[in-house]
Amino acid sequence: MSEGNNVSGDEGRRYNVDDEDRRVLEDIIYNKSNSSSNETEIFDLKTLVHLRQDRLWGAIKERYRYNTSIKRGQNYLIKHVDTKVSLVVMYADLVGSTKMSMTLPVEKLVTVIRAFSHELSSVIENLNGYVLKYAGDAVISFFPSGFNKYLTCDNAYRCAKSMISIIKDGINPILSKHGFPDLAIKIGIDEGENIVFQYGYDKSSQVDVLGYTMNVTSKITSITSPNRISVGENVYKLLHPQIQSNFRRVIFDGNEWKYNNIKTGNPYQVYTLN
């Protein structure tokens, strides 16, 4: 992220971890366009995982402090206050945080939440998304739809997949070594128009987003299984056919789902990753 910390290693060297994230991602983009195989891409993605493990290891050893911020998202939204904008909205919700809050010492719980929030935020911003806000144990983000909603929805899906990989392959192995419980996340994604508003007239007051899409995405996330991704039909219809083939439609029982498609009036469809 743009507000990345400098970290002091055991030998006294200093480096900016988030700048390193960006450098590796630039290598991925370069190698994808200059190579016929995905071997280099896989290697670089593993490097990103190792960078995050180093960062978490430093936090546990109290040698690194996460510096997570919503400033970048606020700077984008401030330009659109009092208007409607088309956004792909993503909720990433930490599973089991209530139980952790009752069983973990405060300092351990805080380390887990900070690591979760920071690492997911880093993935979001590296894939051209924006963090909207942190709601306890959830990271809420958005991707401006722009002129190519197909590309934006595919990108949001890749971001969600990367989040799950970072948690499972990057964060959990380090947490387990230190007696922390494994983390899991539920991710919901939907697309639509949203109202951008500011709570106060002061330019420094928080900017937020509200609308039907926000409500639907929150509900989609709540019904999603751990380490799974669910999307609303607006997103599903825009995903690449190969990505669509990985999803199945959710069949609801009774009053479990009450949202309708605002254009057709029919029940709004939800799809979840197999």
Provide DSSP, 124-137.
Answer: HHHTT-EEEEEETT
Q: What is the DSSP letter of 224?
A: S
What is the predicted pLDDT for the residue at 116?
84
What is the predicted pLDDT for the residue at 223?
94
User: How do the pLDDT tens digits run along the chain, 274 residues long?
Assistant: 333 433 333 333 333 334 444 444 434 333 443 444 343 333 355 656 666 666 665 555 554 455 567 899 999 999 999 999 999 999 999 998 888 888 888 888 887 888 888 888 888 988 899 999 998 889 999 999 878 999 999 999 999 999 998 888 888 888 888 788 888 999 999 999 999 999 988 878 899 999 999 999 999 999 999 999 999 999 999 999 999 999 999 999 878 899 999 889 999 999 999 9
What is the predicted pLDDT for the residue at 197?
94
DSSP three-state, residue 234: helix
What is the predicted pLDDT for the residue at 56?
60
Determine contact, residues 200/247, Cβ cutoff 8 Å: no
Give the integer Cα–Cα distance in Å for 64 and 4: 11
Give the integer Cα–Cα distance in Å for 60 and 237: 42
Cα-Cα-Cα-Cα torsion 19, 227, 194, 119, nearest 10 degrees, comes to: -20
DSSP three-state, residue 160: helix
6-273 CATH fold: Alpha-Beta Plaits (3.30.70)
Q: What is the DSSP letter of 251?
A: P
Classify burial at 253, counting beta carbons within 10 Å of its beta carbon; exposed 0-12, middle 13-18, buried 19 or more: exposed
pTM equals 0.79
- Short-list 140, 143, 146, CA closest to 158: 143
Give the integer Cα–Cα distance in Å for 31 and 201: 47
Give me the residue spans of the domains in the chain.
6-273
Give the integer Cα–Cα distance in Å for 158 and 154: 6
Token output for 192: 């639509």
What is the predicted pLDDT for the residue at 99?
83
Terminal Cα-to-Cα distance of the chain (whole angstroms): 31
What is the predicted pLDDT for the residue at 152?
96
